[in-house]
Each structure stands twice: as C-alpha cells, then as structure tokens.
Structure 1
Amino acid sequence: IPATFDHVVDTTLSTAIGNAAGTTVSTVEHLMAAFSSLGIDNALVEIDGAEVPVLDGSSEIFIEKIEAAGLEKLDAPRKAIRIVKPVVVEDGAKRAALLPAEGFKLFFEIDFDNEVIGHQEIEADLRDPFFAEDILRARTFCLRHDIEAMWAAGLAKGGSLENAVVVDKHAILNEEGLRYDDEFVRHKMLDAVGDLALSGLPLIGRYEGSRAGHAMNNRVLRALMADRSAWEIVDYAETNRPAVSLRGELTAIPAD
C-alpha cells in the first residue's frame, strides 16, 4: 500500500491507508512521524496485521529501533515539495493550514473542555535535532468517557494505560503521570507530522493546526496537492540531507 495521502481511507481515531484490493492498515501516523523526523524517505514496511503496533502510544520505540538498525545515505538527489501559496481548510472551530516558509515549521493548538487538558499550544521545527526527543515521545491520549464509548462500540479494545494517557474529569489515570506538562498538544503535533509525511516527499513550509485531527490533516494535504499553483518540486540541497533509507532490517517489535 503506497504510504501517500491519496491512499488514506479512514481517519477515525487514527489514519488508515488502503489499496484497490481493499487491504487496509491503520495507525500509520506514529511510524510515519518517526520516518519523517529521521529523514527516511525510502522504506518498505512489512506487517502481518491490520494495524501498526501502537506500542507505548508514541513514536519513541520506533525511533530507537530504527536508529539501532542504522540508516544509509543513498546516491540519489533528494527532492522536496515547497509550498509557495497558502492553503487553508476550516470546519467550524477546526483549522489546518500549509503556508510558505523555510525549513518545515509547525504550530499546533488545542482547546478541550477539560480542566486537565484545557488550552495548549506549541511551535517546533522538524529539522531541529531535538525534535525527536521533545515531540515524538508524547503519547496519544483520550478522555475516559470517550474510551468507554469506544469499547461499547467494539473499538480500541487493545487500549490501556500502557499505550495511552487516559484523562478523567479532574485527573490523569496513569500512575506515572505525564511525560511533559503539555504532552497532549505535543502528541497532536506528532500526529500531524505523521499525517503530513504522506505527502510522499519532505515538505518545505509551515503547518498550522487548531483543534485539527487526522481528517483535517489529510484534507489540507489533499487541498494542497489539488492546487498545482500552490507547490513546486525542488532540490533539497539547502538542508544538505541526501535521501536516506534503512541500512538493515528492523528486529521484530513484540506486541506487548
């Protein structure tokens, strides 16, 4: 299944991609975020299930395993998609935008009617060497009443405090607490990086998300690619980062 925006078939709870035969794989965003952060643009992912393992709910374990396997610089020019015109999609209070800028910078804000989460916002640069440590360790989260509704609907049956931060009205149910005070908005940015990695090439520009999720991320990427005047293909020489692939095979990551 090509890991591209036009193969996204579902954005309920996570991002799922599929092919013409009807085969689908969900929750690709955390692995795609790891690839994007490490500059990997050539990889074959083999999977024997319908979902990428959620592991601890972040991209941290993917980062560790990929770095342990090693990366290989390829003897090929690296291309990128430069955003040359603003593209914005809105749905009520939800907003996602891709704007011209140098590098790849991101801004995200969330606003939950929950006293534990509330309003949070963050800015980051994907090319910052600390991005993987500062953003990609943030875990996915959910509200307790939402996860109970999902269980009742037969969804997220593998969800637990081991792979998500669960928030009640007044408290975090995970015994270890948060990894960051603003872990919630950090994970939303992680998701956005993974979803936008489905562009097929590195992006040069700025992403802004407000109350956006997987659906809005895919919508803004589709809107960008549909407007041929909004982007151009360029050499990625300014980053001095050649195309990179995995050097070897990853060892299997246990489901537990």
Structure 2
Amino acid sequence: MRGPGLHTGRVARVTLAPAPPGHGIRFAVRCPGSGIDTEVPAGTAGWVASRMSTALDIGQGRKLRTIEHLMASLAASGIDNAAITVEGTEIPILDGSAARWCALIDAAGRVPQERPRQALRIRAPFQVDGLHGFLRAEPAEAFSVDVSTDRLPGFGVLRWSGRIDPASFRTEIAPSRSFGNASLIWRTLLKTRLARTLLPCPIRDRLWARSFDSQTVCGGLAPAPARPECRRSICPETQGRMHPRDREPLLRGARPGRVAILLGGRVLGGARFPDEPVRHKILDLVGDLGLAGRPILGRIVANCPTHALTFAFLTELMRHPECWEMVSLADAAPSGLGTVTDRGAIRAT
C-alpha cells in the first residue's frame, strides 16, 4: 500500500508479509537519506507521545506515526504475527478508515500456526481517568465495548456499544473515518503566539470553554458511566510519557476524501453512520489496545478515550496483575476479537 500520511502529508509505502510464530507485529522502518533503518515491535514499550495519533519511537528523535488503523485491522483479523516494512515515517491514511486495510488482509488470507494463542483476561474492574474522560476494563467472556464521546460541538452525546468480532468490526466500525472538527481549528488558533499576545488569559479561557458548548445533550443519550471505586492512579512516570515534547507536523495531509470534516453537528458531504465519530473512536481504541500484544477478554467501557489515555490504561494495567490473568485459548473456529483461536499469520503469496 502506498499513500500520504494524515499529519506529515508525506507519501509512504507499506508492505505486510508473513512472520513465524512468536514474531508478533513488528515494523521495519526504512527512511532512505535519513539514516533510519530499524525494527520496532508494536507494543507499549516503544510507544511515544504524538499529537492526535499513535506512534512508535524509531530512534534519532523520529517517530513512526498513525499506526492505529492498521493495528486495528490486524487485531480484528486475528493476526498475531506479521512483518511490516514501512518506507517512510507515517502509515498512509487512505480514506481515513480501516476498511481498505481489512479488505487487503482478507485478500491476502491468513494461516494457522502451531503455537497456543495467549489472551489477557480481565479478572477485576480497572479504570484510569483522563482530562475529559475515562477508560475501564471489566470481566467478560468476550471482547466488547461501550464507548461514548460528549466533546464534539454540535453532536451532543454519541455512544455505541456491542461485541467486536471480525464481522461486526468490518461492517460497523472499520468504515468509520478519521474526523477533523472545525472547532479544533479555533482552539489551535487560541494557542498561537499571536492569540497569547493579543488576548488576555481570561478571554482566551472563556473562548476555549465556549468551543465545547451545546454538546452534552442529544437524543436522550448519556455518556458511558464512570465507576470511581474502580479508579487507579496513573504513576508519574507514565504521566510524563503521555504528552508530546516536540513540535511535530499536524494534519498536513488532511483533505476531503481522507478525513470526515465535522461542522455544526454535521459531516460535510454526508456521514457513513449517524454516529460515525464515536465509531471511529472505537476503531482507534481497538488499534491502540493491540499494543497489548495479545487479545483482551473483557468489556471496555470508555468516555472520550484518547491515544494517550489508552497507553496509560495498558501500562498501569500491567502494574496490577491482580486485575488480569494470562490464559491459553482452546482451539476453535474464529468467532471474535479476543476469542479467535486460529493462530493467525498473513499468508505468503
């Protein structure tokens, strides 16, 4: 696959190839002319804070950005092992969704491998909180989600819940697109040096708050409920990794046809689903949870999840082994993300 990235706007080429058992999902990044030639596993250890994307550290102060849509497609396809070569520093955005990645993986096919598949089963509720939301895991027999967002001006509360399996992901989640909110442009302007020079801090704060007005009531829906009794703190080390420390490109590749543009509670050109933005939140969440390196058996409940919050959730969850256990999935026909037992690898052609 070849195409431009959402944030850098630069064209990259991506090749997915088979890998042996135990290999995992690994990215071999090649950047001719920059001296970057490295391989990084898809995991929280290599995660690095990046604005509006999930990224891996590839050394020399560089990142491989926007891996979440491809990771979601691999996870939803039950692919455990794949060797991914990237000529560039950002995965192509395509049409802003995961539909084409899923179609390409389906066309390539997959094969079983002779090694038991491990899953992370949630034993006790575990929740972490972010600036405007939370992310919680609860015990369940299969992977399901209940995700809401109430921070999109004009949209009110959007919420989607259900089990995620290969079929439901492809029909209900994968076609949803990345979105750009017109209010984000307004907030970005408020952060500029010119705004800080011309506008007193109280005025900027009021304008910032106003950009979130009229967005918490829509059709009687309510956000997914938090459970304060399940809340766990995020350690200072993890918090320090959650915030970008550099000025990286942002939305330079955003164009109609690559993202859905939100304006006044509508999607310009039409939405693929009435609640498309929250479905895309789920798409990103599935991809970010793929950094656990194994399927999750549990119910994920979240309101306004972000890439950084999902990283913190996975990192802190590993610090609390009383809340989870590793299990070996019995051989059975593939039935869902987190219950797929056909040890997947991309088929060689």
Q: Same fold (TM over 0.5)?
A: yes
> C-alpha displacement at 1:99, in angstroms?
1.6
> C-alpha displacement at 1:60, in angstroms?
0.4
Q: Write the mapping of 1:79-90 to structure 2, written as runs, cut at 5 A.
A: 79-90=118-129
Determine whether 1:236 maps to 2:329: yes
Tell me the distance in 1 between the aligned counterparts of 2:112 and 2:170. 19
Identity of aligned residues (%): 33
Give the 3 Å change call, closer, same or farther, for CA 21–75 of structure 1 in structure 2: farther
| 1:196-254 deviation line (CA, Å, top 9, x unaligned) | 010011111111110111111111111111212222111112746221000036xxxxx
Q: Which residue of 2 aligns with 1:191?
A: 284
> C-alpha displacement at 1:73, in angstroms?
1.1
Give the 3 Å change call, closer, same or farther, for CA 85–20 of structure 1 in structure 2: farther
Determine whether 1:218 maps to 2:311: yes
**Quick check: 2:126–2:137 contact (8 Å CA) kept in 1?**
yes
Give the RMSD, CA atoms, in angstroms.
Answer: 2.0
Determine whether 1:51 maps to 2:90: yes
Between the two proteins, the alignment pairs up a number of residues equal to 245
Structure 1 letter corresponding to 2:325? E
**Quick check: 2:78–2:340 contact (8 Å CA) kept in 1?**
no
Structure 1 letter corresponding to 2:257? E
Structure 2 letter corresponding to 1:133? T
> C-alpha displacement at 1:170, in angstroms?
5.2
Worse overlay, 71-80 or 84-93:
84-93
Tell me the distance in 2 between the aligned counterparts of 1:118 and 1:240. 35
Q: Which residue of 1 aligns with 2:100?
A: 61
Tell me the distance in 2 between the aligned counterparts of 1:240 and 1:212. 25
Q: Which residue of 2 aligns with 1:41?
A: 80
Tell me the distance in 2 between the aligned counterparts of 1:159 and 1:71. 32
Q: Which residue of 2 aligns with 1:125?
A: 163
Corresponding residue SS for 1:57: coil
| 1:37-76 deviation line (CA, Å, top 9, x unaligned) | 1100111111011111111111001001111111111121
**Quick check: 2:51–2:250 contact (8 Å CA) kept in 1?**
no
Q: Which residue of 1 aligns with 2:130?
A: 91
Give the 3 Å change call, closer, same or farther, for CA 26–69 of structure 1 in structure 2: same
**Quick check: 2:128–2:135 contact (8 Å CA) kept in 1?**
yes
Q: Write the mapping of 1:1-256 to structure 2, written as runs, cut at 5 A.
A: 1-19=40-58, 22-115=61-154, 117-127=155-165, 129-147=167-185, 149=188, 154-169=249-264, 171-173=266-268, 175=269, 177-237=270-330, 239=339, 241-248=341-348
> C-alpha displacement at 1:171, in angstroms?
3.9
> C-alpha displacement at 1:128, in angstroms?
5.8
**Which stretches in structure 2 are left out of the alignment for 5+ residues?**
1-39, 193-246, 333-338
**Quick check: 2:70–2:287 contact (8 Å CA) kept in 1?**
yes
**TM-score, L = length of structure 1:** 0.89
Corresponding residue SS for 2:85: coil
**TM-score, L = length of structure 2:** 0.66
> C-alpha displacement at 1:130, in angstroms?
2.3
**Which stretches in structure 1 are left out of the alignment for 5+ residues?**
250-256
Structure 2 letter corresponding to 1:34? S
Tell me the distance in 1 between the aligned counterparts of 2:131 and 2:263. 26
Larger Rg: 2
